[in-house]
Each structure stands twice: as C-alpha cells, then as structure tokens.
Chain A
Amino acid sequence: MPRIIKDGGIVEDAALILGIEDVDALADDADRRCFLPLSYWLDRYADRNDGSEYPHVWVGSHDPTESLTPHLSKIAAIAVYFERFSDGTGFSTAAHLREVCGYKGELRAFGHILADQAIALRRCGFNAMALPEGESLDTALSLLLTAGLSYQGSIYNPRTPFKFRFQEAGLND
C-alpha cells in the first residue's frame, strides 16, 4: 500500500487523488477515500446539505481556492498539488487556508515535492505529505524530526525573529 507522512509519522494510505478525466469512473469507489478535483467537487457538493459525509478535495496552483471557503468546515481533508517543486504557490495556499480561513482538517501536499521541503511544508500548515517516486519518505521524516531553529516559527506558532530570544517557547516549530 502507498505510504505517506502524516502527523509526524509514516502511515499507509490508499486514498486516491482523482484527475478530472477519471473522476466519473472512480469517484463512487466506496472502499477508498478519494480526493476530487475542485471544480468537480464544487459542482456536485457545494449545494448539498444533507448532513452526510463530504468527499475530500484537491486543488491545483491555479485553482480558485477561495471558492472552498464557505465549505471548509465540511471537508475533512484537502490536498494541494505541486506542479513543480520550484512552484511555491502551494506553500501560500496552505498558509492562507490555515491562517485566514482557519481550516483545521488534513492538509496534504502531493505532486512534485522534495523530501528537502518537508520542514517548510509543515511550517506552512501541511500535516500530511505524499512524496513522488524517487523522494525518500525516511529522509523527509528524519528532517521533520530533527528540524532545527527557524526565525519565523510556523503557522502553528508564528513569531517575529526576536520573540524567541525573549521567550523560551516552541523553538523547534
């Protein structure tokens, strides 16, 4: 089974992230968790209000993430797609979802990301990462576990660069 990093550990995870082309065929696969493309999700679920569970959604870097804002409390997990590791839109998408929209569910990074980016991803609010082939989950995890000091803290523990020189709190975020 595929493995991902989640909440500071490596776990098995069979969730499918569906492209718009195969969503119709697979979205109803009841056995597996699915992340649906944003446009599809909005079409199908934005107006639904029957109290049942909502599927997960994934967003690309050009997607209008704003359109999810009214529905965030209904969504247990959002995956953010990285087209290239050097396209950093997703870092701000995550930070915005956490900080401005107050999103509390799972935020998963997937696509073209590097193990070396694990710390930055977590600091921006991702609590889950699916690495592409060739990038080592173990490397990413060990980086997360040994993450050093940062001037900015994280989404969970934001600070000015000088704050921690006065307070002894949360140095390893």
Chain B
Amino acid sequence: MYQYDDYDRQVVRDRVGQFKGQMARYLSGEMAEELFLPLRLQNGLYLQKHAPMLRVAVPYGILSAPQLRRLAEIARRYDRGYCHVTTRQNLQFNWITMEQVPAILESLLEVEMHAIQTSGNCIRNTTTDPFAGVAADEVVDPRPYCEIIRQWSTVHPEFAFLPRKFKVAVTGASTDRAAIRVHDIGLRAVRDDRDHIGFEVWVGGGLGRTPMLGSKIRSFLPRSDLLAYLKAVLRVYNRYGRRDNKYKARIKILVKSLGHERFKEQVETEFAATQQQELRLTPAELQYAESFFSPSAYERINVQQVEADLWMQRRVQPLFDRWVKANVHPHRVPGYAAVTLSLKAKGQAPGDIHHSQLDGIAELAERFCFGEVRTAQQQNIVLPDVAQSDLLELWQQLTYLDLASPTQGTAADIVCCPGADFCNLANARSLPVNDRIQARFADLDRLHNLGPISIRIAGCINACTHHHIANIGILGVEKSGQEYYQITLGGESGDHTRLGKVIGPALPLEAVADAVERMLELYLQTRQAAQETFAAVVERLGVSRFKEVVYAANH
C-alpha cells in the first residue's frame, strides 16, 4: 500500500494544526458557529443526535494492520468500544466528544490517517473495487490512480468550497464493483489496442433525491492527462454548478440542465486551454505511483494439491463449505483467494465493528494476508490475499471473532445506514428494519437457496446506502410524524446499473419484513431454475407482479 513520505506527513500535519486552531477559536467563542460549521465538516466532524461523530478517511478502502490496531485503541479510549464502516469505505466514530477530537487526530496522524475531506462540499475520499489489485477480472490495477487522485484532491486550493459534495470512484476490472455510474465522476481504467492505459470518464451520476446515472464524456482519456481533465471537470462545475438550492447543486443537475453534449464541450474547452505540461503525469511519476502497489510476495503454490485439500475440507465441514461458497472470491494468482469478513452478524448493526474484532483482524491480516485489509462499499471487510491452504484456519479464527457469517451477497448481507437512531438527517429508523429482515433468514439453507440478492436500507432520501440500485431498496420516509418505508424494486449495480422503481405506497415498519418475504416467495415460486436470480425474475415478470403480492395481502 502507499507509504507516506515527509511531504504527506507535512500536508496532513499542517491541516490538522489549522483545524485545531479553528476549533480552539470556536470553543473559546472567537469563531461563530456558522463559520465553524463548514470548516469542521471539511475535517470530518459532524454533530449527530447523541454526540459528535468523526468520520475517518480510509483512502480507497485500504488499511494496514497497525492502522487497524490504532482504530481499535481509539474505539476503546474515546468511543464506546466500536466504530462503523460506511458505504464509502470510510470509518466513523459515533460517540466521541468535541474536546477529544484533537487528540484523536494526533493519534490518527501517527499511523498516517486523518479525517480530511470526509464531509463538506469538497472532493471526498476516492472509492474503488475492494478487490483492486487481486481481482481475477482486473484489466488495470486502479490503486495507483486512486492514490494520485487522493493527493491531488487533498486540500486542493480551488475545490474546497464546491456547490456540493463531490465523489469519485475508480474501477479497473471488467465487472464494475465500484458503482462508477452513480458517482459525480466515475473512472474505468482500460487498455487500448496498443496496450496504453487510459480511462473512460463518466460524469453526473448520483442518487439521493434525484437519482441519475452518469453519462460517458470520454471513451479514452490517456492516463497522463488524468489530473488536467479532472481539474477541467471540477472547474466547470465550480463555476456553473447551482448554489441557490442544495438539492440542485450536485454536478448531475448541471450535466442534466446543460445536456451532456454541452457539458462535455465546456469541459473539453477548459481542458484544451489548461492542460499544461506541468499537470501531465510523466512515465516516471506513474511508475512511482505504481511502485507502492506491486504484487504481494506470493509463494509458489502446488495448486493441485491445495485444491484437493480444500475440496476435502469442504466435504467434511459443511459450514466451512457454505462460507467458502459465499465469502471466498477468485484471485488472479493461482492458489490464492480474496475473503469477505462479514460485518452483518445477527443482532449487530451492519458495518459496526468492535475493538476486539479490529485487533483480531489486524492479527489475522498479518498472519494470512500480508498485513493488509480492505473496507468494502457493502460495509464488510475484505482480506484480499489469502492462500487457499490457510482458508480453513482463517475461517475458524473468524468464527471466534463472529466475522464468519456465510452470507456475503445474500439477502442477509443488508447494507444499512445508522438511520434515525444516530443520524440527524434521518426520516425514519433503519436499524430495526434490518433486524426484522435479518430475523427471517435464520435458516441458512433457505437463505442460500434464494441466491444473490441485494437489499439496501436508507433512513432518508440522501440515500447514503444507495437503495436505488439495490434489487430491493427500502427508504425511510415520514408521514405525519410516523415512520414509513417505501420499497423500490429492480435496481442493479455493476455493469447493468439501473435504478429501481417504487412499487407502491410506503409501508409501516411492521409490514416491511413481510413484504420482503412475499416478494422472495414469489421469486421462489416463479423462477425457472435455481440459476435464475431474483433480479432476473424481477426483470422477466415486471414490478407489477411483485407489487400485487405485497399489497394484496394488506387488504
């Protein structure tokens, strides 16, 4: 992974120092609340329902073992023993005090972490495929470009006060696991026919109140031009994006109102006028960036032997077998695998992680995974580089840590925001919805029989959990002071990203899990083969059939 040098340390230290000063002025009354607000947001500090919340940046989701241990220590010392993995690969501490923030920032700085630009109207943490660098279907490793973008966007003088937040996602695989079409800018690293690396550039995606998919404005941007082009897009947005209405301020609205052709034209004009030599990434710089992401020191493995052993282990241990099926993923190096650690154990808020688990993962990462882990957009943790011969032992250890739910990608792998239990913006609670749906899937046979299904729950229209692109999306709304839930169906992420459709009037909390069950029952009854997924059946039958079963029984 990327290692800070003195420059990186200095940039972060300067910023932490500046923020500490601003905070001191605020606490002493010298700086007014309304001035401090955007400044603290730019430094990841929110005021939530019960306490301040600090969102810590995890650049493109990569964490080292020492960083995990430090996060565990912070959770123990300053929080209530745990932290929370967000849907943007970041981490949140939900129970801290304002006065502790400087000490926490110092502590993070010691392990090369910070909370800069994790909130506010600026360029946020760049996200990517949790399997970046190891995915079997990878065309280009996106991590060096994520790091280049991280540095370029950190404390950028021109783009600290944009009309609204700005999110960039990068993928380099043939399957898009970074949801690039629902980001302000989505980049897909590709190779042209001469094997030169460049990017497809997608602009103007985003969910929230006005969900939209991004459109492609470049099919091949040479990688040396990456920063000059990003600058051109951001500058057009910063100059012409709307600021009069917070709900119309994202770049997607600008792209829509100009039309994607005109938007593209403006970007290209700005790009043509400002692509100075100085902003071009030279081969030496690209190589330097790549040097931090060279392949792990894989051992040569007798693959046949390992696979035979694994086959045997799976036969004698059905639970292990189930976990391998659901949570273990192909790796580009024979004999290795990537593994999902589930943060969705029953009774646990999705994405929450206890300090003892953080310490445990750190140890397992060192033993089995070259000391590195990833956070995933689905609010899980990924160990990217595990030898297949270690899987059984890893599974046993994960079981002790309660991180081995064999549910990755199933209906129990629910993505869910903190909702009204913590978040000030929420219209309804989301955690109880999660608990109720989870409770229906105690039977693992049944769960696995249902195959891959994505369920996402958001406590308000900000849609932090991307419920629009879930097969089943659940959105908390408020109707005359009561919590209700609107269901969308047919959303998809990845290469066939598609927005779900609302199936009908919102339901009260008690009815949501039933509705989900009924839709899943209909699926089981109507699928033509076990291979026909829920999403495929929704597409074949149409939303109305599902709507019927949900609402028929309510009358």
Give me the interface of A with B, judged by CB distance under 8 Å: 61, 85-89, 91-93, 95-96, 99-100, 114, 116, 119-121, 123-124, 148-154, 157-166
Given contacts A86-B121, A92-B239, A149-B11, contact A160 B278 (CB under 8 A): yes
Q: Which residues of B contact A160 (CB under 8 A)?
A: 148, 152, 227, 278-282, 285
- Min CB distance, A60 to chain B, in Å? 12
- Interchain CB contact under 8 A, B239 and A124: no
> Within 8 Å CB of B5, what residues of A?
165
| Binding stretch for chain A, among B203-211, B252-260, B268-276 | B268-276
Check if A116 sits within 8 Å of B284, measured CB to CB: no
Q: Are B10 and A88 in contact (CB under 8 A)?
A: no
Q: For B278, give its contact among A93, A151, A158 (CB under 8 Å).
A: A158
Q: Are A158 and B279 closer than 8 Å at their CB atoms?
A: yes
Measured CB to CB, the nearest residue on chain A to B7 is A149
Task: Tell whether, in the assembled complex, residue B14 and residue A148 are in contact, meaning their CB atoms are under 8 Å apart.
Answer: yes
Are A88 and B159 CB-contacts (below 8 A) given A95-B235, A100-B273, A116-B18? yes
A129 to B5, CA, bound (A): 33
Find residues 141-161 in chain B having any chain A CB closer than 8 Å to their own CB: 148, 151-152, 154-161
* Cα of A154 to Cα of B14 in the assembled complex, Å: 17
Given contacts A120-B157, A154-B157, contact A161 B121 (CB under 8 A): no
**What is the chain B residue whose CB lies nearest that of A157?**
B278
Q: What is the bound-complex CA distance between A149 and B13, given in angstroms? A: 10
Say yes or no: B38 contacts A91, CB within 8 Å.
no
Contacts of A148 in B (CB 8 A): 10-11, 14
For A153, give the chain B residue with the smallest CB separation. B278
- Residues in chain A near residue B11, CB distance under 8 A: 148-151
Most buried by B among A88, A121, A124, A160: A160
Task: Determine the residue in chain A with the shortest Cβ distance to B289.
Answer: A162
Question: For the complex, what is the distance from the CA of A91 to the CA of B154, rounded to whole Å?
Answer: 16
Q: Which one, B35, B157, B235, B285, contacts A85 given CB within 8 A? A: B35
Q: A85-B35, A120-B160, A150-B11 are in contact. List 7 more A-B contacts (CB 8 A).
A: A61-B243, A91-B161, A123-B157, A149-B11, A161-B148, A161-B151, A165-B5
B interface, over-half SS: helix
B353 to chain A, nearest CB (A): 31
**Chain B residue contacts of A124, Cβ below 8 A:** 157-158
- A87 contacts B285, CB within 8 Å? no
Cα(A114)–Cα(B42), bound, Å? 15
Return 7 A-B CB contacts under 8 Å, by A number. A86-B121, A91-B157, A151-B11, A151-B151, A162-B151, A165-B288, A166-B288
Known contacts A100-B270, A161-B151, A166-B284; decide if A114 and B35 are in contact (CB<8 Å): yes
| Contact A100 to B152, CB < 8 A, known contacts A87-B243, A92-B235, A148-B11 | no
In the docked arrangement, what's the CA distance between A152 and B10, Å? 14
Among A88, A116, A119, A124, residue most surrounded by chain B Cβ atoms (within 10 Å): A88
User: How distant is B249 from chain A, measured CB to nearest CB, in Å?
Assistant: 11
Q: Which residues of A contact B157 (CB under 8 A)?
A: 91, 119-121, 123-124, 150, 152, 154
Binary contact track B17-59/A, C-beta < 8 Å → 1, others 0: 0100010000000000001001100000000000000000000
A to B contact number (C-beta, < 8 Å):
109
Residues of A within 8 Å of B22, CB to CB, are 116
Chain A residues within an 8 Å CB radius of B273: 99-100
The answer to whether B238 has its CB under 8 Å from any CB of chain A is: yes
Interface size class on chain B is: 35 or more
In the bound complex, how far is the Cα of B11 from the Cα of A121, in angstroms? 17
- Cβ-defined contact, B158 with A93, below 8 A: no
Q: Which residues of B contact A158 (CB under 8 A)?
A: 276, 278-279
User: Is B423 located at the chain interface by the 8 A CB criterion?
Assistant: no
The CA-CA distance from A125 to B180 in the complex, in Å, is: 33
Contacts of A152 in B (CB 8 A): 152, 156-157
Q: In the assembly, what is the distance between CA of A47 and CA of B280, in Å?
A: 39
CA distance A120 to B156 in the complex (A): 8
Contacts known (A96-B235, A100-B270, A166-B284); A151 close to B155, Cβ less than 8 A: yes
Q: A129 to B407: give the CA distance in the assembly, Å.
A: 58
B162 proximal to A (CB < 8 A): yes
Q: Report B389 CB to chain A, min CB distance, Å.
A: 38
Chain A residues in 8 Å Cβ range of B280: 160
Minimal Cβ-Cβ distance residue in A for B155: A150
Residues of A within 8 A of B278 (CB): 153, 157-160, 163
Q: A81 to B140, alpha carbons, bound, how many Å? A: 44
- Rounded to whole angstroms, the CA-CA distance of A154 and B157 in the bound complex is 8
The smallest beta-carbon distance between A157 and chain B, in angstroms, is: 8
Taken together as a complex, chains A and B put the C-alpha atoms of A122 and B515 apart, in Å, by: 57
Partner of B239, one of A93, A121, A154, A166: A93
B282-296: contact bitstring with A at CB < 8 Å (1 yes, 0 no)? 101100110000000
Across the interface, name the chain B residue whose C-beta is closest to A158.
B278
Q: How far is the CA of A132 from the CA of B180 in the complex (A)?
A: 42
| Complexed CA–CA distance, A159 and B154 (Å) | 14
Whether the Cβ atoms of A151 and B239 lie closer than 8 Å is: no
